[in-house]
Amino acid sequence: MQFSEIPGLSALKSQLTGAFKKGKVAHAQLFSGISGSAAFPMALAYATYLLCQNRNDDDSCGSCANCTRIQKSIHPDVHWYFPKISASDSGKYDKVVAEALPRWRSFMTESPYGSFDDWALVYGQENKNLQLSREDSRQILKNVSMRSVEGGYKIIFIWGAEFMHPSGANALLKVLEEPPEKTIYLMVTFAYDSLLQTITSRSQLVNVPPNQLEEIHNYLVEKNIGDEQAMQLAKISQGRIGVGLRLLQSEDDMAYQQFRDWMLACWNRDLTSLVHGSEEFSKSGKANQRSFLTYSTSLIRNSLLKFAGNQPPIINAEEDTFIGKYSQKLGFEKLQSMYELLNEALLHLERNSNPRITHLNLSLAIVKKINAS
């Protein structure tokens, strides 16, 4: 993450880079903003700036080895702590971390503006009590006592500091007060008021304000969202980019449900539903028809990836589960044929074929494929 990827907030960016240039980097900083704000992207851009090997005055380079490794969250001197399910004993802690880390990496790369709920969903543990446990604090103390691997800054990232177990927080007080040289704590919170005073009094507050309407609008337009839709989302999101992006995602969630219902109807040879589905499809307008078929194609493509033993990018937990189950049920050849059928249908649509007939023919071809022995 570079500062330039975050819209607006230029005063704050200058304040952060300015402190570095003056040699006044506070060792414990608390990035505070409302849920959906740029609090985490800002802390991430700052960490990248601190470790970049080729930074300029205002930003990291975005392409050196350190920038790349932070982006993939594999830099050996950047340690990640975030709310997880609690391990029943310290022996299980490593397993909990090993299972959570790949999902965390997806989350921070795909949804840096995401909320706690977004994280719980990607993690697949939305009904569990997630926290930063005492074991996390023990691990932090261990990290702090070790030398930095590469001799530069060592960064301890604590995302969701409000989920820190009180006794775990107390265990950190001493290291927050007297950190070893070049160890930096970057904490991110969406609920400053519920933090323990012992934490807030020992860290420098970095207040990350909401974005301006126009900043979010432009940000979404740069992501290829239509001008009108971008403005509508910017208005609803009220300064929180993460909310705007989430709303876009929920449009995808609806597409997912539509896709799932469609596939189930094909699976069950439910002709009444399929005919009805084709009518609905034809009424939905050309752009929606194209985007739905493109989305369906990408899900089948991800199923193929999964079948071949590769982990496709996790967009949301439901899709991931579906892809896993479906790819096993159908197998490679059927998925491959469905992928080709969908691409053909897209081509027909481009050539102005009748959308209802295209969709119905496609559905029937999929029924035939799925139920072939």
Report the interface residues with Zn ion, using CB under 5 A. Answer: 52, 54, 60-61, 64, 67
Nearer CB in complex with Zn ion: 34/45: 45
Nearer CB in complex with Zn ion: 54/371: 54
Q: Which residues contact residue 176 at a Cβ distance below 8 angstroms, ignoring those fewer than 6 apart?
A: 28, 185, 199, 202, 203
Structure tokens given for 302: 């991800």
Phi, psi of 206 (to 5 degrees): -115, 105
Helix or strand (DSSP H, E) at 351: none
Nearer CB in complex with Zn ion: 10/54: 54
Structure tokens given for 342: 């969908």
Residue 231 and residue 204 in contact, taking contact as beta carbons nearer than 8 Å: no
Nearer CB in complex with Zn ion: 19/61: 61
* Closest approach of Zn ion to the CB of residue 69, in Å: 10
Q: Angle at Cα 172 formed by Cα 174 and Cα 49, nearest 5°?
A: 100
Nearer CB in complex with Zn ion: 78/233: 78
* Closest approach of Zn ion to the CB of residue 152, in Å: 12
Residue 208 and residue 1 in contact, taking contact as beta carbons nearer than 8 Å: no
* Closest approach of Zn ion to the CB of residue 272, in Å: 58
Nearer CB in complex with Zn ion: 54/354: 54
C-alpha neighbours within 13 Å on the C-beta side of residue 305: 13
Residue 168 and residue 90 in contact, taking contact as beta carbons nearer than 8 Å: no
* Closest approach of Zn ion to the CB of residue 62, in Å: 6
Residue 87 and residue 96 in contact, taking contact as beta carbons nearer than 8 Å: yes
* Closest approach of Zn ion to the CB of residue 264, in Å: 48
* Closest approach of Zn ion to the CB of residue 211, in Å: 25
